[in-house]
Amino acid sequence: MTEVRIAHTSDLAAATLKAARVLLHDAFEGDLSDHDWEHALGGVHALVWEGAELVGHASVVQRRLLHDGRALRTGYVEGVAVRADRRRRGLGAAMMAALERVVLGAYDLGALSSSEEATTLYAARGWRLWQGPTSALTPTGIRPTPEDDGGVYVFPPAVPLDLTGHLTCDWRDGDVW
């Protein structure tokens, strides 16, 4: 039986966190840095279990995004992956549905940075492509992030947004988006 469970990082056993990290490492074909893993922690995780086996992971963590003179409390989605042999079965959509409920109940908006492979999933669920320039609020000021333009999606916000305007994320080590 397949089951989606949600839990805060603080409520997950060390063995579950280890299994999630291994799953992400494998799903991203070894391209998971320590920073990437850290970015997925400290929020709510959606975990897909088949019996005692973890086959899917996604999380939402709080970040601040700056847009149009406002700092927006944002539910930022991280670490979305389904084990390769379980893909295309609706598990990613099930995890996103669980996290979208969290976003809608707790944040001004949702946001994420998508791989090319996942854009269809997010667009089909109502996530909208950010069309304007992106940047990061770094320790030395705001720095444009043109390499991330065209890859950031936002989820129906509780506040009006100009999707062609500037969007700035808070600073963090590793990939900022």
pLDDT digit string, tens, across residues 110-126: 999 999 889 999 999 99
Domain-located, residue 177: no
pLDDT of 157: 78
- 118 DSSP assignment: G
Q: Can you say whether the dihedral through the CA atoms of 6, 148, 168, 155 is positive or negative?
A: negative
pLDDT of 116: 87
Domain-located, residue 132: yes
pLDDT tens per residue across span 121-175:
999 999 999 999 999 999 999 999 999 999 999 998 788 999 999 999 999 999 9
Q: Read off the pTM.
A: 0.95
Mean per-residue pLDDT for 92-121?
A: 96
3-state helix, strand and coil shares in percent for the chain, rounded to the nearest 5: 30, 35, 35
pLDDT of 117: 86
pLDDT of 159: 86
Mean per-residue pLDDT for 22-39?
A: 95
Domain-located, residue 176: no
- Burial of residue 62, with CB atoms counted within 10 A of its CB: 0-12 exposed, 13-18 middle, 19 or more buried: middle
Domain-located, residue 175: no
Give the rounded percent of residues in the chain with a pLDDT score beyond 90: 92
Average pLDDT, the chain: 96
pLDDT of 68: 95
pLDDT of 143: 98
pLDDT of 30: 86
Domain of 122 in residue numbering reads as 2-169
**Cβ proximity of 113 and 151 under 8 Å:** yes
* CATH code of the domain in which 57 resides: 3.40.630.30
Give the number of domains in the chain. Answer: 1
Mean per-residue pLDDT for 66-83?
A: 97
